[in-house]
Amino acid sequence: MKIAVIGATGYGGVELLRFLQHHPYAEVHSIHSSSQDGISLSEIYPHIGQNEAMILESIDVEQITATADVVFLATPPGVSSQLTPLLMDGGVKVIDLSGDFRIKDGRIYEAWYKKTAAPNRYLQKAVYGLAEWNKKEIEDAVMIANPGCYPTATLLGLAPLVQNDLIKEDSIIIDAKSGVSGAGRHVSLSTHFSETNENVKIYKVNEHQHIPEIEQMLWNWNEQIKPITFSTHLIPMTRGIMATIYSQAKKELSTEMLVDLYKTSYEDSKFVRICEPGNYPSTKEVYGSNYCDIGVAYDERTGRITVVSVIDNLVKGAAGQAIQNLNIMMGIEEDTGLQFMPIYP
Amino acid sequence: MKIAVIGATGYGGVELLRFLQHHPYAEVHSIHSSSQDGISLSEIYPHIGQNEAMILESIDVEQITATADVVFLATPPGVSSQLTPLLMDGGVKVIDLSGDFRIKDGRIYEAWYKKTAAPNRYLQKAVYGLAEWNKKEIEDAVMIANPGCYPTATLLGLAPLVQNDLIKEDSIIIDAKSGVSGAGRHVSLSTHFSETNENVKIYKVNEHQHIPEIEQMLWNWNEQIKPITFSTHLIPMTRGIMATIYSQAKKELSTEMLVDLYKTSYEDSKFVRICEPGNYPSTKEVYGSNYCDIGVAYDERTGRITVVSVIDNLVKGAAGQAIQNLNIMMGIEEDTGLQFMPIYP
Amino acid sequence: MKIAVIGATGYGGVELLRFLQHHPYAEVHSIHSSSQDGISLSEIYPHIGQNEAMILESIDVEQITATADVVFLATPPGVSSQLTPLLMDGGVKVIDLSGDFRIKDGRIYEAWYKKTAAPNRYLQKAVYGLAEWNKKEIEDAVMIANPGCYPTATLLGLAPLVQNDLIKEDSIIIDAKSGVSGAGRHVSLSTHFSETNENVKIYKVNEHQHIPEIEQMLWNWNEQIKPITFSTHLIPMTRGIMATIYSQAKKELSTEMLVDLYKTSYEDSKFVRICEPGNYPSTKEVYGSNYCDIGVAYDERTGRITVVSVIDNLVKGAAGQAIQNLNIMMGIEEDTGLQFMPIYP
Amino acid sequence: MKIAVIGATGYGGVELLRFLQHHPYAEVHSIHSSSQDGISLSEIYPHIGQNEAMILESIDVEQITATADVVFLATPPGVSSQLTPLLMDGGVKVIDLSGDFRIKDGRIYEAWYKKTAAPNRYLQKAVYGLAEWNKKEIEDAVMIANPGCYPTATLLGLAPLVQNDLIKEDSIIIDAKSGVSGAGRHVSLSTHFSETNENVKIYKVNEHQHIPEIEQMLWNWNEQIKPITFSTHLIPMTRGIMATIYSQAKKELSTEMLVDLYKTSYEDSKFVRICEPGNYPSTKEVYGSNYCDIGVAYDERTGRITVVSVIDNLVKGAAGQAIQNLNIMMGIEEDTGLQFMPIYP
């Protein structure tokens, strides 16, 4: 199938190209950027090497819908809400890596993103691409809202607890830590090396736009869930997210019971790996891969459950999950083009 | 006054020497190590430069008590519990940077540290050196148990809430992040560069020995406090601790009210700085200094309070607070030898 | 073909497994370690995940030669010199990632490595696996000495100049910078995070064992070459080598002429990429890949040539080049199993 | 004496304030910025804390000359060349941390800096503030051109060899490595964390504006010196410069002879420390301090000398040396306000 990538000059876009380059069934037909028409991508990213196919084109919707089967959007918030309706009307399938189609209620989107929401009838067609839990809908989708990096780590970590009604509904606290690549390639003081190295910063306290995305999915699973606390920290590393998730158990449990539950919940999931009791994942052990590794502990002293969930924010948290969604939507093996070990060390 | 430093070859020890070198009233009379008698410290730490006074001596208690006024112990757990009684019997004052004298109940110490506790009568003479809150007792102390790095950041962050009974007693969760120097100079795979760089790891889940130290002080302030959840993460940086502290407010509050409370609580504290509403500290802004910077937020959606407390783990979390305690104990200005700006960037 | 990997628990070994896992013609039949018989590799390296095939076995030469077609040795210096003769006598092909078979003159090996050299008749059968320049001999080899990381970056950078007699024979100075993973997984103070982070160190000044390896190959190309100066620096990053190579031109040149020469020299080399005039590679642009990127400049003020050559030390500098050698030796496409983009950022 | 700091919002400016805060004889009377009049510096740099004296003022030359005794300029290139003449005419002493007054020949400045040179009569009054070698002139100076970071490390490393005519005049090659703070606080893709972390980059090959500054001083010492090769690399750390300096000895020497020469050359220099034979400095061992540590080796195989010189680029390479120059110019002890240990680790 023929693929177009819009927003190919960002970190998400270039990571998509890394995976698509050797995908057996997908061919990158064109790459697009709003501002760099005619430039070879290798001028911007020398690591991809000279490659004649990698010339950036402007975003001409008609031309794209005439030639592509599937379009990936790796654009900043506020762009996809305008482009996607045109692409959908043109008959191509869309996988959007931005947040524009993740939240069903446009007013909530607008409150957290401070941007105009996408038109409602397109919004309602979007399927939330949390591949491990929405597979059925993804198979039938024409438009996929690829989940955010933090929500992916968080939701995969919480799903077994929330779906099985094991935790108090008002007790969820997520303390998330992210590498700096999550902030993208746009330069700013907050991602300037000398300000970021040897430093941990907390940001968007109680205001992160991923909060409503996480809550929406939790409510889908269990409508008793109350608002969550979700904090994000910038860590002096490039890739990786760890979500440390706290909640209060409704009844006495044990770490072993929880590990069993998680193993069962994810037994058919190729990309979720559960740690043995007493073991917890570190971000580096999923570096460059599409895995989500999860460890879980029950504390008898407090009756609290701690879940530790790690992903590579640019892979399972963005481009990798997008390819996984492509595979599911196209009816091919879910891990096609994604079967490789993390890079370690 | 004449100072002896035992355990001068660790990171805590060498940081003590950095501060003592230009302390106007303290003179480093001798430095001691269990294994490197006769070696110049500059062979181990070239950064201190040739310095004839810095020759390591063995640990001869009689000689030390005969010449020193105050002894700092910067030794691993289990050493001070044996040395300190001899030093106290010899009539010198002791400031212990290890955990051996922090916990009043020897059985609790033994349960968490898996080592034999110090003799009880010495344990009871130890004053917990949380300088901002125990000043009166520190003034009269002959033996100071210098607080742990994590407890310092955590307790300074929680004190105003717990002392003023503002939070639900069973709702405290601390998610702490530390630079690698907190693990000391002893080599191990978990502090090997290639395993630690570009990586976030959680460790000692529900088992960290600083848990009882924190709980003991919280109970001193408010005996209704229930067991806490306290998690520790290793961050790819050398120095710095951030404690992100979550708790449930008993009644509706506001961020402004909380900031005011914190400012009032610490108005006489030279080393605690409170951020304005909407601002939060990052670890780098206290690098190399004795400051503890604190930000606080109230979330109306959840009724939860988030406190963000940062210190340099080797300064306010170890050697700096030890000097601060020395100053208080000796009746001199608390910030003597500690008045310098953080190093930035 | 069936592969055995000896020394699978080091960084070079585990990187070999990453590449072999999806190699279409090679199957990892067994993995071996001198000390961890029966352990699953995933206990040591959680990133590889549960994998029943990855159980470590002891090093039983008879068993290995009975079942394997090719054996990779990723062992410390001094091990391969003893194992390889037994394996060769057993009829298997050997690719050795250590330095034991790289230097033809055993006395030189012993002078620089301070270890006993391998027996001479085996040493003489070894082919130096610098794939871009020794392809013919590699095709016919039964034993390949895989080049060191520094020599790979250096020799690929110098080959066009030395082979074409463009530089003064006594003018070569190589200033090399390496990530810490080059020091392996063995813990030591010099690779302890707190000592290595925010630090550049020079080490083994004028004494690095890669000096004779580089000189031997330069002499093969041009026997007038005089002893080189070669310095190595440890950089606070995990992966990557940059060799900055200085030499004096014999006659006036230009950057454009040099870039043309390099492009011509490497036009058939899939893994060597030459930068356009005025551009120079950075280590990150080859991260995780088998590429060697090279930039070159001529300075009219001094008549000096600067060559900048970068590789991923664990890939083109170790495991990747070993797979490349395997492919050549086996008569299959040189880039089989190695066709992937660098990971960026 | 009363100090004004112009350009206080850059890294050099804020580092000056760190040192001046506790300088016993200097008082920061005013701080100035071209664009942030009225802002408290603590809003820009929370690490300095609330400090009423630290309000930025606009750059009003008349007001400054009316109140200040000495003005520090920590401004980008091209600013000082215009401000300094006005300040000098106003009767204040000036210490300029930029490159505008370092090069005596305005045409050379303009060729390398691509900016208009300062007026010649002011240029000729400027004293190059390489404190260890120009002390006499600094004592009498009214205007000091504070040396660049790279030139400081390089010139202190080369002085004994060049002054004593020990090396071939056309053989000097300097391979320099710098932390990212040397690029200042201005954001750019080349200092963006995700592009800089886990990366070594070479930049300005054969074009760095510090080349003529180094050559000018070398020629002052020995007019036979030929053009040098000088390369600069960006290292994933915040602070520190290492200059690895290569040259060809004119006659056979030994490492011991060289170490003796360096010790003698710097025996009266408080801030230059020479390593024992076989030892070399790392950048971290001068972190935050005004030291320059130097190691030197002679290689019998090649007849080459390797000098390794390290500084903290923001201290000895900028603000620290500026304070040292202030002290010398004011006739007070050279190390006033600068006597502190490096921060380690």
Which site among C14, C180, C190, C192 would you substitute to test the B interface, given the most B Cβ atoms closer than 10 Å to its Cβ? C192
Q: 10-residue block means of pLDDT along chain B (345 residues)?
A: 96 97 95 92 94 89 97 96 98 98 98 97 98 98 98 98 98 98 96 98 98 98 98 98 98 98 98 98 98 98 98 98 98 95 96
Q: Which two tokens stand for residue C268?
A: 């058939």
Query: CB C11 to CB A345 under 8 A?
Result: yes
Name which of A11, A197, A285 is nearest C46 (Cβ-Cβ). Answer: A285
Query: CB B198 to CB A206 under 8 A?
Result: no
∠ Cα D293 D298 D304 (to 5°):
110
Q: How many CB pairs under 8 A join B and D?
A: 83
- Give the residue among C222, C129, C215, C134 at the shortest CA–CA distance from C174: C215
What is the separation of C-alpha D108 from the centre of its chain, rounded to a whole number of angstroms?
19
Measured between CA atoms, how close is D109 to chain C, in angstroms?
16
What percent of chain D has pLDDT above 90? 97
- Give the residue among C32, C111, C121, C112 at the shortest CA–CA distance from C81: C121
CB B144 within 8 A of CB B92: no
Residue of C nearest to D298 (CA): C206
C319 contact residues in A (CB cutoff 8 A): none
Measured between CA atoms, how close is C277 to chain D, in angstroms?
11
DSSP type of residue D258 = H
Is C11 at the interface with chain A, CB within 8 A? yes
Q: How many CB pairs under 8 A join B and C?
A: 58
Report the DSSP pairing between strands A304-311 and B2-6. Answer: unpaired
Place of tokens 């003799």: B119
Name which of A197, A203, A244 is nearest B231 (Cβ-Cβ). Answer: A244
Q: What are phi and psi of B176, to 5 degrees?
A: -110, 145
CB A206 within 8 A of CB B301: yes
Query: CB B237 to CB C196 under 8 A?
Result: no
Distance, in Å, from the CA atom of D83 to the CA atom of D143, rounded to the nearest integer, reads 12
- Residues in contact with B79: Cβ distance below 8 Å, sequence separation at least 6, in sequence order: B7, B34, B73, B98, B100
C308 contact residues in D (CB cutoff 8 A): 202, 205
Is D157 at the interface with chain C, CB within 8 A? no
> Which residues make beta-bridge pairs with B3?
B28, B70
Q: Where are the beta strands (DSSP E) in chain A?
A: 2-6, 27-32, 56-57, 70-73, 93-96, 127-128, 143-145, 173-178, 201-203, 229-234, 241-248, 272-274, 292-299, 304-311
Q: What is the pLDDT of residues D130-160, one digit of tens each?
A: 999 999 999 999 999 999 999 999 999 999 9
Query: CB C244 to CB D202 under 8 A?
Result: yes
pLDDT computed for residue D51 by the predictor: 78
CB B208 within 8 A of CB B230: yes
Which positions of A are catalytic?
149
Name which of B177, B228, B297 is nearest A200 (Cβ-Cβ). Answer: B177
Distance, in Å, from the CA atom of C187 to the CA atom of C191, rounded to the nearest integer, reads 7
Distance, in Å, from the CA atom of D59 to the CA atom of D5, rounded to the nearest integer, reads 10
Measured between CA atoms, how close is A240 to chain B, in angstroms?
7
Place of tokens 């201190």: B48
Q: Where are the beta strands (DSSP E) in chain B?
A: 2-6, 27-32, 56-57, 70-73, 93-96, 127-128, 143-145, 173-178, 201-203, 229-234, 241-248, 272-274, 292-299, 304-311
Q: Is the pLDDT of residue D59 over 80?
A: yes
Q: What is the ipTM of this complex?
A: 0.98
What percent of chain C has pLDDT above 70? 100
State which H helix or E strand residue C173 sits in: strand C173-178
Distance, in Å, from the CA atom of A242 to the CA atom of A255, rounded to the nearest integer, reads 20
Query: CB C185 to CB B181 under 8 A?
Result: no
D9 contact residues in B (CB cutoff 8 A): none
- Give the residue among D109, D115, D68, D106 at the shortest CA–CA distance from D87: D68
Q: What is the pLDDT of residues D298-342, one digit of tens each?
A: 999 999 999 999 999 999 999 999 999 999 999 999 999 999 899
Evaluate the omega torsion of the peptide bond into residue D236 and state whether it is cis, within 30 degrees of 0: no
Of C3, C20, C149, C329, the active-site residue reads C149
- Residues in contact with C315: Cβ distance below 8 Å, sequence separation at least 6, in sequence order: C15, C286, C288, C289, C290, C321
Is B341 at the interface with chain D, CB within 8 A? yes
Other CB atoms within a 10 A radius of the CB of residue A329 amount to 22
Residue of B nearest to D310 (CA): B47
Per DSSP, helices labelled H in chain D are 11-20, 41-44, 61-67, 80-89, 106-113, 120-123, 135-139, 149-163, 193-196, 210-221, 255-265, 320-330
pLDDT computed for residue D35 by the predictor: 85
Query: CB D193 to CB A238 under 8 A?
Result: yes
Half-sphere exposure (Cβ direction) of D8: Cα atoms closer than 13 Å: 33
Is C132 at the interface with chain A, CB within 8 A? no
What percent of chain D has pLDDT above 70? 100
Report the DSSP pairing between strands D229-234 and D292-299. Answer: unpaired
Q: Which amino acid is at D50?
A: Q
Report the DSSP pairing between strands D304-311 and D292-299. Answer: antiparallel
Is C197 at the interface with chain B, CB within 8 A? yes
Average pLDDT for residues D230-257, to the nearest whole number? 98
Of D149, D211, D310, D322, the active-site residue reads D149
Tell whether the torsion through CA atoms of B310, B311, B317 and B321 is positive or negative.
Answer: negative
Name which of C187, C195, C197 is nearest B188 (Cβ-Cβ). Answer: C187
Q: What are phi and psi of C202, to 5 degrees?
A: -100, 145
Report the DSSP pairing between strands B27-32 and B2-6. Answer: parallel
Residue of B nearest to A201 (CA): B282
Q: Is the pLDDT of residue D52 over 80?
A: no
> Which residues make beta-bridge pairs with D307?
D245, D296
State which H helix or E strand residue C140 sits in: none
Distance, in Å, from the CA atom of C155 to the CA atom of C211, rounded to the nearest integer, reads 11
- Give the residue among C57, C81, C82 at the shortest CA–CA distance from C67: C57
DSSP type of residue A181 = G
**Tens-digit pLDDT string for chain A (345 aa):** 999 999 999 999 999 999 999 899 999 999 999 988 899 999 999 999 987 778 999 999 999 999 999 999 999 999 999 999 999 999 999 999 999 999 999 999 999 999 999 999 999 999 999 999 999 999 999 999 999 999 999 999 999 999 999 999 999 999 999 999 999 999 999 999 999 999 999 999 999 999 999 999 999 999 999 999 999 999 999 999 999 999 999 999 999 999 999 999 999 999 999 999 999 999 999 999 999 999 999 999 999 999 999 999 999 999 999 999 999 999 999 999 999 899 999
Distance, in Å, from the CA atom of B327 to the CA atom of D306, rounded to the nearest integer, reads 47
Q: 10-residue block means of pLDDT along chain C (345 residues)?
A: 96 97 95 92 94 89 97 96 98 98 98 97 98 98 98 98 98 98 96 98 98 98 98 98 98 98 98 98 98 98 98 98 98 95 96
Name which of A194, A233, A287 is nearest B177 (Cβ-Cβ). Answer: A233
Instruction: State how far the alpha carbon of C77 is from the alpha carbons of C83, C96, C100, C176, C207, in Å.
Output: 11, 10, 6, 21, 16
pLDDT computed for residue C51 by the predictor: 79
Q: What are phi and psi of A142, to 5 degrees?
A: -110, -15
Distance, in Å, from the CA atom of B297 to the CA atom of B280, rounded to the nearest integer, reads 9
Query: CB A233 to CB B297 under 8 A?
Result: no
Per the annotation, the verdict on D292 as an active-site residue is no
A237 contact residues in B (CB cutoff 8 A): 197-200, 236
Measured between CA atoms, how close is B293 to chain D, in angstroms?
9
pLDDT computed for residue A89 by the predictor: 98
Is C240 at the interface with chain A, CB within 8 A? no
- Give the residue among A249, A130, A87, A244 at the shortest CA–CA distance from A176: A244
Which site among D191, D193, D312 would you substitute to test the A interface, given the most A Cβ atoms closer than 10 Å to its Cβ? D193
Which residues 252-281 of chain D have a CB within 8 Å of chain C?
280
Helix orientation angle between B210-221 and B106-113, rounded to the nearest 10 degrees: 150
Is B196 at the interface with chain C, CB within 8 A? yes
CB A284 within 8 A of CB B211: no
Name which of C180, C194, C238 is nearest B238 (Cβ-Cβ). Answer: C194
pLDDT computed for residue B35 by the predictor: 85
Is A40 at the interface with chain C, CB within 8 A? no
Of B14, B92, B149, B328, the active-site residue reads B149
Instruction: State how far the alpha carbon of A143 is from the alpha carbons of A91, A131, A214, A326, in Å.
Output: 11, 14, 19, 10
Name which of A201, A246, A280 is nearest B282 (Cβ-Cβ). Answer: A201
Is A189 at the interface with chain B, CB within 8 A? no
Distance, in Å, from the CA atom of B54 to the CA atom of B40, rounded to the nearest integer, reads 6
CB A342 within 8 A of CB A288: yes
Q: What is the pLDDT of residues C129-155, one digit of tens each?
A: 999 999 999 999 999 999 999 999 999
Domains of chain A: 2-125 (3.40.50.720), 150-312 (3.30.360.10)
Name which of A185, A194, A237 is nearest D181 (Cβ-Cβ). Answer: A194
Distance, in Å, from the CA atom of C226 to the CA atom of D224, rounded to the nearest integer, reads 26
- Give the residue among B288, B290, B291 at the shortest CA–CA distance from B343: B288
Is A181 at the interface with chain C, CB within 8 A? yes
Is C39 at the interface with chain B, CB within 8 A? no
Distance, in Å, from the CA atom of B79 to the CA atom of C291, rounded to the nearest integer, reads 52
> Which residues make beta-bridge pairs with A248?
A304
Other CB atoms within a 10 A radius of the CB of residue B38 amount to 9
- Give the residue among D146, D140, D106, D111 at the shortest CA–CA distance from D123: D106
- Give the residue among A310, C237, A197, A345 at the shortest CA–CA distance from B237: A197
A343 contact residues in C (CB cutoff 8 A): 18, 288, 343
Distance, in Å, from the CA atom of A226 to the CA atom of A8, rounded to the nearest integer, reads 38
